[in-house]
Amino acid sequence: MKYKGYTGIVELDDESGTLFGRVIGLRDVITFQGESVAEIVQAFHDSVDDYLEFCAQRGESPEKPYSGQFVLRIDPLLHRELASAAEAQDVSLNSLVESALRKTFLTPAQDVTPKTPRATTTKLAPGSGTKTVPARKSTSKTPKTLRSNKTRKQ
């Protein structure tokens, strides 16, 4: 389930017959529960609204969605091979890695981001050096999950 940029997941407690859920992608825990689908959806919405209200009362901003950037440390040999493969395919290293991750973690219906060409170097007139043309930024929108470090009062 999604609401106001937050994602909730729901499970069934077989013993009690109760649906219970939690908001994922947060450092702190926001939970909700209900007896029916309608109740669990409303409880999810209420919990997110309570969290946002709690942050506002404390004068704190709710945590922002993932930025789309993270640091990855890999073996230098693998880095070289990836960079060579990206150059051979005429794509940026980021696009090559993103494509591999998309194939692994997203379904074809979710994968709507076009490839971003790598930065290119253009030769200018003799003696005038070179000019680097940066790769375009993608303008497609993909689902994002918000994260938070605020604790909701229970």
Q: 6 with 128: CB under 8 angstroms?
A: no
Query: What proportion of the chain, given as a percentage, has pLDDT over 70?
Result: 68
For residues 43 and 36, the answer to whether their CB atoms sit within 8 Å is no
The predicted model scores a pTM of: 0.50
Q: State the pLDDT confidence band at 141, using cuts at 50, 70 and 90.
A: very low
List strand residue ranges (DSSP E) for the chain, in order: 2-3, 6-13, 18-24, 31-34, 120-123, 130-133
Query: To the nearest whole number, what is the mean pLDDT of the chain?
Result: 77
Lowest mean pLDDT among 61-65, 96-100, 148-152: 148-152
pLDDT in tens, 84-94: 999 999 999 99
Question: Is 53 inside any structural domain?
Answer: yes
User: What is the span of the domain harbouring residue 18?
Assistant: 2-58
pLDDT of residue 113: 57
- In this predicted structure, what is the pLDDT of residue 112? 59
Residue 18 in domain: yes
Distance in angstroms (rounded) separating the CA atoms of residues 113 and 141: 8
What's the rounded Cα separation, in Å, for the pair 146 and 90?
33
Q: Rounded to the nearest 5 degrees, what angle is found at the Cα of 83, between the Cα atoms of 88 and 85?
A: 35
Q: Would 78 be classed as within a structural domain?
A: no
What's the total number of domains in the chain? 1
